Amino acid sequence: MKKLFLLAFYLILSEQGSTCICQHPFTYCESMQAEAADLVVLGYKFTDKYHGMGIKVVQVLDGVENRDTLTVWGDNGMLCRTYCGTFGMGDTVLFALHHCDLSGNGGGTLEKPEDYQISVCGVYWLDYENGEVTGAIDNGTTSLSLNEFKQYHSTCSPTGIEEQIPAITLYPNPIKGILTIEGLKGKKALYDSYGRLVKSTQTSTLDISQEASGIYLLKLTDEQGTVYSQKVVKE
């Protein structure tokens, strides 16, 4: 049975209020303007994974993703994320996801840089049934057909148009020593698979020659405060 969106949303806020402090926009559009999603997909939960879940992708609505299954991480009791238990097995949902920041790893390596997370700091999921997207889409708008929603979604970005992603170049990648970042001015921060900050810089290079081999997450923040994420492989 489908969940009643608004009731579930307010329950999530009350449950997580003691461990998560952030602004909570009350509509999908307001949430996109506050912190736009990296990927918007129509999909359904097909398995549970600790504090996360596996999602089968039905359709990509915004963003770039070629995989048909994704791992999405939720709250473990200490994060500003939605509890993945909110979603019923097999229920089709519109998910607005962010690249995983690995903050749920603690001392483990469950979360991977290629995974996603779902925020509780706003409306980052909507119900879908019989061709209709329903929920707190915008002020006065609670239901749209999927095609209408696709058109409406682009108006929810901060500029009212689809965001133009800068041409960011990382090389070499995989890397053994010094990583060069071109195409973005601002802060560059490198995190390991435990979610720990390894190095940060305002320059265009990062020396990671002394770091262990593995997969790292590079978070790039431009001068306007927009954050982009890239995967880096250290040989």
Beta strands in 66-131 (DSSP E): 69-73, 92-99, 116-117, 125-129
At the top level of CATH, the class of 5-156 is mainly beta
**Residue holding tokens 């890239």?**
230
Q: Confidence class of residue 166 from pLDDT cuts 50, 70 and 90?
A: low
What pLDDT, in 10s, does the model give residues 56-73? 999 999 988 999 999 999
**In the chain, where are the structural domains located?**
5-156, 169-234
Domain 169-234 has CATH 2.60.40: yes
**Which of 12-21, 110-119, 150-159, 182-191 is predicted with the least confidence, judged by mean pLDDT?**
12-21
Residue 67 CA to residue 29 CA, distance in Å, equals 26
Question: For the chain, what is the mean pLDDT?
Answer: 83
Q: Which residue has the higher pLDDT, 16 or 129?
A: 129
Query: Looking at per-residue confidence, does 37 or 20 come out higher?
Result: 37
